[in-house]
Structure 1
């Protein structure tokens, strides 16, 4: 046999065809990824717009940094309870409830941003502004440059906390819900596409947000985020519940 000629056993083995769109052959994955893309774009749009608006209202770098803190507190404090809840109850229902509250919070941000000059000077909002002014005074030297006289600012932080809490519970449930959308042999492909969708949304969201803020308003961005969250709610609705919990019960009995 010629040394350059491959053995018959090796030549007869056919390499398996790779399907780069294997995950998209499943309807549940398509529904989820469409909603996930909308949610990521909306979330990135909101993050850019709310930081921009807070700085315009206060001219305070500390107030800008507090946006990240308010969004991080639910992640740090509620990730473990959210994971426990996702293990105990329907992940689909948790995602839907979380997206509903996220949409409500974004709609609230739109109203607060639109009517910020008409918000009454309630004592609790005055105390909130005084607290924010005191915190900013600790970290900033030029105290004359910032101001906390807009009563919408404490409400924006409150609604951001609600939104961050909802998305913390949604993220925990989505992490467990995602593997049930495709069979095991398509899971690696699904993860690849999920990462790609995240990158696309992370790039597109801020760009769209900047354009809308520059040409329309902050409140329009918040309305779009609310619509994106509600569309995710509707897209998850027809996806059947994962049977994993029932299988675990059968194995334990």
Structure 2
């Protein structure tokens, strides 16, 4: 798996969001794009996925099966939770993936019958059931309670290791980045200034080290003019 971004440009309504970004990674990475709200992280993720087209520049990613966990719900309202999985992954076992994200016994419920956190977990289950070699995740833990979030972080890390997939995650939470990432792209000033941080294998990180990394990342974010109090 490789990701190569070369001289990428993108703007909206005359406002430059991404201005000449170049970046590359190889092998089975867990890249976190970290920055404050409104810094353009989701725009970059959607360009990588092919949903958005850049004004200039190129993105090369050699994924054959790409899964996407959107920030907003993309569930089909007239299908049950299990059917929302099977429609994108017909050969999967929806019960297995629902259980994996803590939704055991919820397969017959419709999205309108699920809480916001349950919908978020269903979105993650659907992306995993597609058996991707690359998963793009846009604020995947945003509406989850602490217990479910903690367990899902562990489970996603295990999937990354066991299945040898690559992950690109967008978040504004430095603690998530510190816990999961092999690499961090710290966004400053809407991609006019990024910092590349190599962390290595997250499995080897102790709780104290995770806390130290998270505090350091938060400090660096506060130094950026794009940081929002």
TM-score by length of 1: 0.24
Greater RCO, CA 8 A, separation 6+? 1
| Structure with greater proportional helix content | 1
Give TM-score, length-normalised by structure 2: 0.26
Structure number having the greater strand percentage: 2
Structure having the higher Rg: 1
